[in-house]
Amino acid sequence: MSYPLPASIPQATLGKLAKLGIRDRFDLVLHLPLRYEDETQLQHIAGLVPGVSAQVEGEIIHSEVTYRPRRTLLCQLQDDSGVLHLRYLNFYPSQQKQLAVGKRIRALGEPRIGYFGMEMVHPKCRAAGADAPLKQALTPVYPTTAGLPQTTLSKHIQAALHELELPDTLPPDLLARLRLPPFADSVQLLHNPPPHTDENVLAERAHPAWLRIKFDELLAQQLSMRVHYRKRRSRNAPQLPARNSLTRQLLQTLPFALTAAQQKVLHEISRDLEQTHPMQRLLQGDVGSGKTVVAALAALQAIENGYQVALMSPTEILAEQHYLKLRDWLAPLDIAPAWLSGSLKKKDKQAAAERIAQGETPLAIGTHALFQQQVEFRNLGLVIVDEQHKFGVQQRLALRGKGSEPHQLMMSATPIPRTLAMSYYADLDVSVIDELPPGRTPVVTKLVSDARREEVFERVRHACMAGRQAYWVCPLIDESEALQLQTAIDTHQQLSNAFPELRVGLVHGKLPPAEKAAMMAAFKAGEVQLLVATTVIEVGVDVPNASLMVIDHAERMGLAQLHQLRGRVGRGAAESMCVLLFQQPLSELARARLKIVFENSDGFEIAQQDLQLRGPGELLGARQSGVPMLRFADVSADAVLLDSARAIADELLRDLPQVAQAHLQRWMANKHDFLHA
């Protein structure tokens, strides 16, 4: 099914339509109104209510142009019940003519109480009379772009509605079961709602016609994800059965026992690795829940089977921490991982790549350099991606090998609310670590105005003098990296001056990797007591003796980010605290957001509330640009529809594959990226 735009549309208009995402006539049909104007009925002037849009009809009894305070066309329109003032600040001579004394006109607008009585500012006016009957439907107002008038857009949409057949993709008995109207009726109604249709119900997208559109969109999304999921199951991957040799050895040497949650997810991963198709599993666990050891055990299961493993992290600091940790853990097993990052000297990089290519090491750890630098693995069996939300979908897919495909384990500390996971990660399997290792002390969170900065200094001094350590996180400055760096340097200077008795360190993104590593090592060893940092420490840094974190300008940060940062403390036995320093005045939204972090310690709860506050685009992050956003449905408000779309998708694929196919065709015809397969 393809519905090309008619050849009669001029090139310039095609360009404007393309700007609105309209590439064929089905796109026109789905270009739904923002709101409506009611030109189906007339009100009496005497009955106008301020703020409630209405249409009135009458005779112009007065019309003049005044110049104070600025050039204004002032008219009076009279009907049987009273007089209404019309006011135009910008007007054309033609309008002035249209509104001359004696003309009968209809005015549509929002009345308000003005200086002379009830008035409308810039109402929409048209000549009244026998040749201008009242409209038979509410008038749609469409989202548009400069140079494309409503009338032109509306004309093309109405033509498409009229010409396209739009047979329903879903069988009538299914629609009856779901209590949803036919598709054609739904778009027809949304473009031309009959008089007296409740505009609020339309605006809230709660009208059955809206529900049908949203359901269709969600169904298409679920279908495409499921299709993708099934395709994966038909591809080949090496079978990596659990042999419990290396994994058992690691478990025996670890200083702790796995939590029940870690055992559960490990079992899920282990079972996936035994399959003949590639695993694509998302491992979610709050900060500090212990994902690294799970990753190490998964890696060992692949290594036990003679395959290689790549562990990729988004930042050097994080990659290096993993490297150091795994190197120590695996030393007793005689496994020496290779370290590969973009900042290595060319010679060292080549040496590492050589070891990997020759299969001399079964484990490669690094940044995305692992995959950018033409590194050839000898037999890659498993790819582990830490903090996967920091990578785009494209990068994720770039990991796929040729021929036989490696298994993939993606880890994320950014908790994804259930509805979002169902919607955007439906092509993945998901494991969740839902418990923290024992012995953690809850972090006390404080919201402190920047006006009380000095008190916070005292707190820092006190903690450090008592033998503990602290982080000072510098504000995020979106506009300029240089400015962000400068702020970090200034803050470091300020704190060094304030605490001559302490050793104050500084890490930031621009620091050469060797210096960064040296600073992190010094902090870990307790040689540095206060670490000033940009958000490079957001993920993964693990220093149990650090018990205080101050986050400067906390109002500028994302909630997930704040939660992650806070997770850097509270890892040891000492009572820990996170101080969120904020700058006055706080906007309403900023206040609400900080309150969420203040009141909740559960990452999932924070993410859920953040989703409600800001919508999924923000939460998934711009980097997830490969992920199709929903246009009509809202995963948080339409959770019920999403649930049924999910169930119906499975049902259709099982019982009515040709229906599923037709539905996908209609909704995905233009959107190949949606299938990202």
Return d(Cα 7, Cα 222) in angstroms, integer: 34
- Of the candidates 268, 434, 435, 542, which one interacts with ligand ADP according to CB under 6 A? 542
Please report, to the nearest 10 degrees, the dihedral formed by the alpha carbons of residues 387, 393, 395, 399 taken in order: 90
Residue closer to ligand ADP, measured from CB, 269 or 293:
293
**Is there binding between residue 413 and ligand ADP (CB under 6 A)?**
yes
- Of the candidates 16, 291, 524, 568, which one interacts with ligand ADP according to CB under 6 A? 291
Query: What are 54's strand-pairing partners?
Result: 109
Q: Are strands 83-88 and 72-78 parallel, antiparallel or unpaired?
A: antiparallel
- The answer to whether the CB of 3 falls within 8 A of the CB of 667 is no
Residue closer to ligand ADP, measured from CB, 27 or 286:
286
Q: How far is the CB of 285 from ligand ADP (least distance, A)?
A: 5
Residues 6 or more apart in contact with residue 233 via CB below 8 angstroms: 277
Residue closer to ligand ADP, measured from CB, 103 or 322:
322
Residue closer to ligand ADP, measured from CB, 488 or 560:
560
Residue closer to Mg ion, measured from CB, 55 or 313:
313
Q: 290 contacts which partner out of ligand ADP, Mg ion, none, CB within 5 to 8 A by kind?
A: ligand ADP
Q: What's the first-to-final CA gap in the chain, in angstroms?
A: 21
List of E strands, 110-167: 111-114, 117-121, 124-127, 139-141
Q: How far is the CB of 415 from ligand ADP (least distance, A)?
A: 12
- Of the candidates 278, 290, 337, 558, which one interacts with ligand ADP according to CB under 6 A? 290
Q: 437 contacts which partner out of Mg ion, ligand ADP, none, CB within 5 to 8 A by kind?
A: ligand ADP
Return d(Cα 17, Cα 297) in angstroms, integer: 53
Residue closer to ligand ADP, measured from CB, 92 or 256:
256
Number of residues that bind ligand ADP (CB under 6 A): 16
Number of residues that bind Mg ion (CB under 5 A): 1
Q: 262 contacts which partner out of Mg ion, ligand ADP, none, CB within 5 to 8 A by kind?
A: ligand ADP
**Is there binding between residue 520 and ligand ADP (CB under 6 A)?**
no
Point out which span in 139-147, 153-161, 270-278, 540-548 binds Mg ion (CB under 5 A): 540-548
Residue closer to ligand ADP, measured from CB, 139 or 601:
601
The DSSP letter of residue 332 is G
Q: How far is the CB of 567 from ligand ADP (least distance, A)?
A: 7
249 to 288, contacts with ligand ADP by CB under 6 A? 256, 258-259, 262, 285, 287-288
Q: How far is the CB of 325 from Mg ion (least distance, A)?
A: 10
- The answer to whether the CB of 433 falls within 8 A of the CB of 261 is yes
Q: How far is the CB of 289 from ligand ADP (least distance, A)?
A: 4
The two structure tokens encoding residue 205: 């997208």
Alpha-carbon distance values, 445 to 271, 598, 613 (Å): 40, 6, 21
Q: Which residues of 331-354 are buried (b: 16+ CB within 10 A; e: fewer)?
A: eeeebebbbbbeebeeeebeebbe
Return d(Cα 624, Cα 619) in angstroms, integer: 10
Q: What angle do CA 242, 243, 246 make, to 5 degrees?
A: 105
Give the residue at shortest CB distance from ligand ADP: 290
List of E strands, 558-597: 576-582
Return d(Cα 533, Cα 495) in angstroms, integer: 12
The two structure tokens encoding residue 276: 């003949």
The two structure tokens encoding residue 239: 């079978």
Residue closer to ligand ADP, measured from CB, 192 or 313:
313
**Is there binding between residue 526 and ligand ADP (CB under 6 A)?**
no
**Is there binding between residue 540 and Mg ion (CB under 5 A)?**
yes
Q: How far is the CB of 425 from ligand ADP (least distance, A)?
A: 18
Residue closer to Mg ion, measured from CB, 219 or 536:
536
**Is there binding between residue 290 and Mg ion (CB under 5 A)?**
no
- The answer to whether the CB of 373 falls within 8 A of the CB of 340 is yes
Return d(Cα 335, Cα 319) in angstroms, integer: 17
Give the residues lining the site for ligand ADP (CB under 6 A): 256, 258-259, 262, 285, 287-293, 413, 437, 540, 542
Give the residues lining the site for Mg ion (CB under 5 A): 540
